[in-house]
Amino acid sequence: MKILYVASEVTPFAKTGGLADVAGSLPKAMKKLGHDVRIILPLYKSLEKTEFAVKKGRKSVEVVVAGSVQKGLLRQTYLDGVPVYFLENREYFNRDFLYGPPEGAYPDNARRFGFFCRGVLQLLKRMDFRPDVIHCNDWQTALIPILLKHELRDDLFFTKTASIYTIHNLAYQGLFDRSALAEIGLDAAYFTIERLEYYGKVNLMKGAILSADMVNTVSETYCREIQTPELGYGLDGVLHERREDLHGIINGIDYDEWDPTSDPALLKNYSAAGLAGKAADKKGLQKAMGLEQNADIPLLGMVTRLTEQKGLDLLVGLLPELRRKNLQLVLLGTGDARYIELLLEVKAEGARNVVVNLDFDGRLARQIYAGSDIFLMPSHFEPCGLGQLIALRYGAVPVVRRVGGLADTVIDPLDPAREPNGFTFDEYTSAAFCAAIMRAIDAWHDRKGWTKLIRSGMRHDFSWRRSAEKYAELYRLGLAKKWS
C-alpha cells in the first residue's frame, strides 16, 4: 500500500506529546512490513535545532486562507529510510511554539492548520503521489478527511484514497468560533449538526470522526471509554454513531530506540536474562540524585507531564505520607504552573527521600526508567500511555490506574487469568494509589518473586511490529469501505 502519514508533530523533528512518538515510529514499522509510506508535517522553527539536513524542494503550493493567497514550499529529509516532507510557511510555522505559548493557544491556529491540510492535498498532486491511505491524527489534521468526503469527493485524483483518522487524546478537539469556517475555506453549509457544528462552535475533530472512512483510538479500553459520557467529552454520541468503524489499537514503542541492552545513557546495560546492570543503574541514579545509595530501599520513579490528566493531584496528596516511609522517589517532569509550585515547595522543604526535577532531560528520563524498581502512572485518564511500556522494557515494575491503555498493558497479580507484570488500582484517590504502591513494595521484598515479575514485563512484546500489523488491517478495512 501507498500510505501518507500526516501529523502536526513527529519525533525527532517536533514534539509536545505522545503523538510525536507514534508519528515517528509507526511509519518506520509500516515500511518494514513492505509498504510505501511517507510522512508530512509543518516546518517549524524548532527544526533549526535538529541534526537532520532538511533540503529545500522545488515544489510549492498556493492556498487561499481567509481570502488571501498563502504560499507554501516543500522540503524533505529521511527518517530511517522513510521520506519525510515539511510544508514551509514562515508566517504560520516560524514561531517559538507549535500550538501556542504556555499561557494559551495561538489565536490563528484554525488558519494555520487549515493551510497545512489544504497544502498537503495540493502537494500530493504536485508530487504525483496517489496514496491508497491518508492517515490523519488529532484535530490539527482533521480537515483532510472532511475535504476528502465533501469538497473533493468527485476529484478523480482521490477517488480511491481512504482516510484513516486517529484520536490520540479526545480532550483536544479543535474547537473554534464559527468564523473559523471562512478561515479554513469552508462555507456555511458545513455549520450543521451533521458536520462540524458543536454547541455553536466549529469542532474539527467531530467533523473528522463523521467523515473518515475508519476511526481509531490508541488502545482498546480507551476506545470503549470515549463512548461514555464520563470520558466522551461531548462526542460520545458521535463516536457511538460510528461504532462499526471505530477501533482501538494499542501503541507500541520503538525497540531499537528503547533498549536497555545498548542504551548509551545507562551506567550499565542489562537484559531480562542478566539483570546485574540494573542494580548498578539504581545505585548510579541514587548517587546522581543525592539519595542514600542503598540497594535495600525501594526506588520509585516517575517521568511525566505535570497535568491533572497524569494524576498529579493524587501524587501531591500522597507526598507527605511518602516522605515518612522507607522509600525513595525521583520525579522528572514539566507542565502546569500550579503543580510546579507545589513540587517546588516539596523541594524547598528538603525532603531527604524525594527528588524533584522540573526541567526536561531525556538522558535523565532513561536513567530513571533503568534505575527505578517501581514506576508510577496514576493517570486520571490515559488514551494509551508510553511510559508504562518503556518502564516494562527497562524492568521498572509499573503501578498504574486501571484506565485506557494502562488497563490493556499492565496486569496485576490479582488477575488470575494472565501473567502479571505490574500493579493496578481503580478508585481515583490518593488512598487507593498509596495502597497499590504498598502492595508493590511488599512484593519487592520477595526478591525471587520480584525478579520473576521484572522478567515477565521485559519479555512482553510491545514493539511496533504487532501494532503495525493491526494498522495494516485497519487500512485494508478503510479501503474496502471506500471502494464499496
CATH number at residue 391: 3.40.50.2000
Instruction: Quote helix, strand, coil % in the chain, to nearest 5.
Output: 40, 20, 40
Q: Are residues 322 and 385 in the same domain?
A: yes
Query: Which H or E run includes 330?
Result: strand 328-335
56 lies in a domain? yes
Q: Are residues 246 and 343 in the same domain?
A: no
Closest alpha carbon to 330 in 287, 300, 306: 300
Report how far residue 376's alpha carbon sits from residue 424's, in angstroms, rounded to the nearest whole number.
Answer: 10
Q: Are residues 218 and 95 in the same domain?
A: yes
Q: Are residues 243 and 291 in the same domain?
A: no
Q: Are residues 222 and 282 in the same domain?
A: no
Please name the residue that has the C-alpha cell 494555520.
112
pTM attached to this predicted model:
0.92
280 lies in a domain? yes
Q: What is the DSSP string of 28-90?
A: HHHHHTT-EEEEEEE--GGGGGSSS--EEEEEEEEEEETTEEEEEEEEEEEETTEEEEEEE-H
Q: Are residues 211 and 332 in the same domain?
A: no
50 lies in a domain? yes
Q: What's the pLDDT at 309?
A: 92
Q: Are residues 143 and 203 in the same domain?
A: yes
Residues 6+ apart with CB under 8 A from 78: 84
Report how far residue 37's alpha carbon sits from residue 30's, in angstroms, rounded to the nearest whole number.
Answer: 7
Number of domain units in the chain: 2
Q: Are residues 437 and 472 in the same domain?
A: no
Q: Are residues 36 and 128 in the same domain?
A: yes
390 lies in a domain? yes
314 lies in a domain? yes
How far lies 294's CA from each of 58, 264, 298, 398, in Å? Answer: 60, 24, 9, 21
Grid coordinates given for 33:
512490513
263 lies in a domain? no
Burial of 81 (0-12, 13-18, 19+ CB in 10 A): exposed
Q: Are residues 245 and 281 in the same domain?
A: no
399 lies in a domain? yes
Q: Are residues 437 and 469 in the same domain?
A: no
Q: What is the mean pLDDT of each run of 10 residues along the chain (484 residues)?
A: 97 90 96 97 83 70 82 90 94 94 90 96 93 98 98 95 97 95 94 95 98 97 96 96 96 94 97 95 97 96 93 92 92 90 82 88 96 98 95 98 97 92 97 97 96 95 94 98 89
Q: What's the pLDDT at 67?
A: 77
269 lies in a domain? no
Structural domain containing residue 228: 2-252+465-483
Angle formed by the axes of helices 18-32 and 464-483, nearest 10°: 80
Q: Are residues 412 and 440 in the same domain?
A: yes
Which DSSP symbol is given to 396?
Answer: P
State the first-to-last Cα distance of the chain, in angstroms, to the nearest integer.
18
